[in-house]
Amino acid sequence: MEALEAIGLASNIITFINFSYELVTGAWDVYKSGAGATSQNAALGTIVADLEDVSRGLQQQSSVKRCLDSLQIEAERLYNENVKKLELLRTEVQEGLEQLRDMHGKSEWKQPAGNGESAWSVPSTVVRTAMTRLQGLAVGILSQNEILARLHYPSMYRREDSVVPAEAQTFRWIVDDSPPSKITDELWYKKSETRKSFLEWLRTGSGIFHISGKAGSGKSTLMKLLCNSAHVQTELQKWAGSQTFVFAKFFFWIAGNEMQRSLEGLYRSILFEVLRKYPELTTEIFPGSKVPVKALGAGVPPPEFRLDEIKDGFMRLIKLPTTSNHRICLFIDGLDEYEGDSVDHWEIASNMITWTKTANVKICVSSRPYTEFMESFNFHPEHQVRLHELTEADIRAYCYATMQKDRNFDRIKGSYLDLTQAIVSRARGVFLWVRLATRIFLSSVGYRDSPETLLKKLASVPDDMRALFDGMLGAVDSSNRERADKLLLLTLESLTSVPAILYLWFDDLDDPNFPFQASPPECLNPGVQRIEAVIGKIDALTKGLLEVVTDGSGYNDFSYSVQFFHRSVLDYVHESLAAQIKQRQPDFDVQESFCRLVLAYFKLGRGQTEYPINAPKLWYLLYQFFHQLAPSTRSQAIFQGFYELWNKLSMLSQIRIHRGKTGVFMQRQRVRHQLDYLCWLLCFGYGHYVQDKVLTDSSFLQKPNLLKRLFLLSAVEGHTELVRLLLRKGKSPTEKIVLVEGKSQCRYEVSIWMLILTACVEQLLNPRSRYRSAEIIQELLTWDPLLDHEMYFVVLLVRAVGSPPVQKENLRLVTLQEVLDMRDTPESQELRQLVSHRKNAPKDDTRWSDDLKAKYKGLTESPPKHGPIYEYEILSTHTRSEEFNATIELELEIQ
């Protein structure tokens, strides 16, 4: 919804409410003052006609109608539940207006009602009341949509959607007490006790219910079934009773992108799920976070939430039941797929226990039987399920259903029960093994093998999953083995789901000149044909270990992606195959290959004038490979190829300094300035390439604004050699730069020196920083003896375990010397010596520092140098000659 329309929405509705009210009351006043007078009757007719025109315009073509339509579409896109209320209110207003129009010209509107009021005052009052409610709801939805848009990310439901649904009523036993056939009394007793325990936990329980299981035992399939089970929702409603029931879910996925395997992804998904279903909670979860729509240009998306803001919102949600009438239940799948090591797993388990301290918050979670989770969640043994010990009947039902659906079932229908039992007896509760073994077995049915031969075929399938994977890859034709190796390695090192369309040119990578000398095709095959070609290639080369999955949005270039069939396959390739493949394919450069595939898509995979809708997504995916691209002749060609595309496609982007760290945010619409390609490369770490360009291209001296950007970025990103080169080219840290403050759009000048100081010192305060900040500051102070060396930083001291409100007692005044004392590195030691040996400021020029010391507290409590207890956020930077207020987010604009 465009911001200008959003701004006009409330005022337009209010104007119409007031106008319609004046029309109605004015008409009645005219009627009472002289009913029957010709001139007065004419006035009445005019008023009603005007009301007709306004109401007709409201419902057909007015700006209010357009705004409401846009608002409703956006609410539907974000699954905002308030869209249903909006539809009802709009219908109510429309019906009321139609009733008024129908009454126009009829006798009853001219006659007073029994209470002395006009007959049409009743429907007019209904319309006015509904319009008032509509105005309030519309403004509320506008704010809610903005928060939802800031939380949403494209892959939010991708993992859940890719999980195989339960077949043939498998896993239904956990909520349904009908006994399956062919099950031992002991197993039936275990399943009955598990079902009883789970249903009691849903109805009356608290804390954590833990579903554990071996790799491939069907945990995610079960969790998907439970999340969508009406029976589960009914039992949880009983638990909530008269309180408001809040439910949300999240599926971790280690093979997905960063959001799918991180706490940030968990926080954002849960908050999005809750606030779309219960939008009235928005102001409680994110109080005061509303960005005024007047601050947003049309088509410019709202700023992303910072991680601390999202975490704070999540903690407000968890604490909500202690202050309001709510009960919250979360279902979280694949806890073992949360990124990190054993320490991280212990920590997230501990966090979940903390979240469920109150009886009004509980969590159902699944994971592999890792010690970190089995011990952490062992407070109530009846609330822990070992799924692989309970799935024999489910596996049997799955085998029956799979075989019966096979097109060659008639050939085995006389022996499929024996064949199924052979599979069940060897499965050991692992559904993944069953799925793969059944697939291998059914491929032999088509060759009309006898039942005895089929049983021998089943017996040859390895019990061990890794041996099974080896066998599947062994079935790949020897002539395709090299291609299979490269395909697995490329998918493994992508660390996220790769758009399937890129694999369309996979075989062209053998040509070292591809795609640099390739010409765009005159016409493109339809998307469905291209995706089907990729699916066939993936299946032939990996025999099911890789698969193409869809996000359900139909056939387009980015709705299909390639990923590993299962987490176990990912582990197998990573732990057992990757080293062997790299030895077999020593010349295969994954980073270079991925960049070439992306370049091929831009050059060959779209129409001559078509702008790829998800181009920013592709540029983002490039990051993980681009910054690892080794200098080589071919990488120079890649740089040049992207440079040509950068200019040809007019890629619009912004550069922002966010908490002292430079980042690139791709945007398509109405961005003020285009970020130069060389600046973009600097942000990806390619200082050597930029340095070569500056050295060999004399035209750079004619581009002072570009050199300013390069100078600032090279310092912030730690490219010392490039800083030295630009200093020799005449750049100075005292040069001014124009800044536009992100929210208020205020413009002001500040020196490059102040920006570098702010960014570099914030990096120094972060013990995990990879930047050579002390070296950069030393370089600049050495170069310019007149540059201010006495400097102060006002920092916000934040406990690492949480972010307290900004209060004066949290602010500290820190000198550069104190910051350097926190970082005991060779670079900081050298800079500390340089600062201490430089001449002090003149005695008559120290009032500015005395004023600062009186205004703020010093840093009295210094954190240990190992294991950070504190986090810092610089609020302002001071030198003798300049002060810079370091706002949270700045958009850089060079004049």
Q: What is the pLDDT of residues 818-835, one digit of tens each?
A: 888 877 778 888 888 888
Average pLDDT estimate for 91-106: 65
Long-range contacts formed by 194-202: CB under 8 A, 24+ apart: 194/385, 194/390, 197/382, 197/383, 198/174, 198/385, 199/175, 199/235, 201/362, 201/364, 201/383, 202/232, 202/235, 202/236, 202/238, 202/239
Buried b (16+ CB within 10 A) or exposed e, 370-384: bebbbebbeeeeebb
**What pLDDT, in 10s, does the model give residues 305-347?**
888 889 999 999 999 988 888 999 999 999 999 988 888 899 9
pLDDT of residue 268: 94
pLDDT of residue 845: 56
Strand order in the sheet with 244-251: 244-251, 326-333, 361-367, 207-212, 384-386
Radius of gyration for the alpha carbons in the chain, expressed in angstroms and rounded: 33
Worst-scoring range by mean pLDDT, 190-194, 552-556, 756-760, 828-832? 552-556
- d(CA 726, CA 703) in angstroms, rounded, equals 12
Q: What is the DSSP letter of 510?
A: G
Q: What is the pTM of this model?
A: 0.61
Worst-scoring range by mean pLDDT, 619-633, 649-663, 812-826? 649-663
For the chain, the average pLDDT equals 76
294: burial class by Cβ within 10 Å (0-12, 13-18, 19+)? exposed
Worst-scoring range by mean pLDDT, 140-144, 232-236, 751-755? 140-144
Most confident of 34-43, 212-221, 620-629: 212-221
- d(CA 500, CA 483) in angstroms, rounded, equals 16
105: burial class by Cβ within 10 Å (0-12, 13-18, 19+)? exposed
Residue 661 clears pLDDT 50, i.e. is over it: no
pLDDT of residue 764: 81
What percent of the chain is predicted at pLDDT more than 90?
19
Residue 643 clears pLDDT 60, i.e. is over it: yes
- d(CA 352, CA 372) in angstroms, rounded, equals 12
H helix or E strand, kind and range, residue 529: helix 527-542
Average pLDDT estimate for 380-385: 91
pLDDT of residue 505: 92
Bridge pairing between strands 870-879 and 791-799? antiparallel
Residue 800 clears pLDDT 50, i.e. is over it: no
Average pLDDT estimate for 501-517: 89
Average pLDDT estimate for 228-253: 94
Enter the tokens of residue 461: 């399938």
pLDDT of residue 287: 86
User: Residue 804 — pLDDT band, cuts 50, 70, 90?
Assistant: very low
Worst-scoring range by mean pLDDT, 248-252, 391-395, 576-580, 851-855? 851-855
pLDDT of residue 7: 35
Long-range contacts formed by 832-835: CB under 8 A, 24+ apart: 834/778, 834/781, 834/782, 835/781, 835/789
Residue 513 clears pLDDT 60, i.e. is over it: yes
Q: What is the DSSP letter of 611?
A: P
- d(CA 342, CA 371) in angstroms, rounded, equals 9
Helices (H), 446-526: 451-459, 465-474, 481-492
Closest CA to 472 of 515, 440, 446: 440
- Distances in whole angstroms, Cα of residue 868 to Cα of each of 499, 798, 862, 863, 871: 39, 11, 10, 7, 7
- d(CA 461, CA 432) in angstroms, rounded, equals 13
H helix or E strand, kind and range, residue 796: strand 791-799
Average pLDDT estimate for 230-259: 92
Bridge pairing between strands 560-564 and 546-550? antiparallel
- d(CA 336, CA 261) in angstroms, rounded, equals 10
User: Residue 37 — pLDDT band, cuts 50, 70, 90?
Assistant: very low
- Would the CA dihedral through 128, 130, 133, 134 be positive or negative? negative
- d(CA 776, CA 380) in angstroms, rounded, equals 56
Average pLDDT estimate for 257-273: 91
Q: How far is CA 158 from the centre of its chain?
A: 11
| Beta carbons within 10 angstroms of residue 356's beta carbon | 19
**What pLDDT, in 10s, does the model give residues 575-618?**
888 899 999 999 898 888 888 888 888 788 765 444 444 555 66
Cis peptide before 165, with omega less than 30 degrees from 0? Answer: no
Amino acid at 729: K
Q: Residue 555 in contact with residue 528, Cβ under 8 Å?
A: yes
Worst-scoring range by mean pLDDT, 99-103, 217-221, 377-381, 572-576? 99-103
Nearest 10 degrees: Cα torsion 529, 530, 536, 541: 170
User: Three-state SS for 736?
Assistant: strand
Residue 673 clears pLDDT 60, i.e. is over it: no
List all residues 6 or more positions away from 250 whose beta carbon is below 8 Å from its beta carbon.
265, 266, 269, 270, 273, 330, 331, 332, 333
Write down how long the chain is. Answer: 895
List all residues 6 or more positions away from 544 whose beta carbon is below 8 Å from its beta carbon.
436, 439, 472, 565
Per DSSP, what are the bridge partners of residue 872?
A: 797
Residue 43 clears pLDDT 50, i.e. is over it: no
pLDDT of residue 124: 64
Residue 51 clears pLDDT 60, i.e. is over it: no
pLDDT of residue 24: 44
Residue 435 clears pLDDT 60, i.e. is over it: yes
- Between CA 708 and CA 305, with CA 717 as vertex, the angle to 5 degrees is 100
Per DSSP, what are the bridge partners of residue 298?
A: none
**What pLDDT, in 10s, does the model give residues 754-776?**
989 988 888 787 665 656 778 88
**What pLDDT, in 10s, does the model give residues 125-165?**
666 677 777 777 777 777 788 888 888 887 888 888 888 88
Average pLDDT estimate for 653-672: 45
Considering only residues 226 and 43, tell me which one the structure prediction assigns the higher pLDDT. Answer: 226
Residue 301 clears pLDDT 60, i.e. is over it: no
- d(CA 412, CA 408) in angstroms, rounded, equals 8
Average pLDDT estimate for 668-678: 55
Task: For domain 158-390, say whether CATH 3.40.50 is its number.
Answer: yes
pLDDT of residue 384: 93
Residue 806 clears pLDDT 70, i.e. is over it: no
Average pLDDT estimate for 799-804: 45
pLDDT of residue 868: 43
**What pLDDT, in 10s, does the model give residues 440-477?**
777 777 667 777 787 887 888 888 888 888 888 888 88
Average pLDDT estimate for 372-395: 89
pLDDT of residue 614: 54
Q: What share of the chain is helix, strand, coil (3-state, %, to 5)?
A: 60, 10, 30
522: burial class by Cβ within 10 Å (0-12, 13-18, 19+)? exposed
Closest CA to 331 of 235, 224, 194: 224
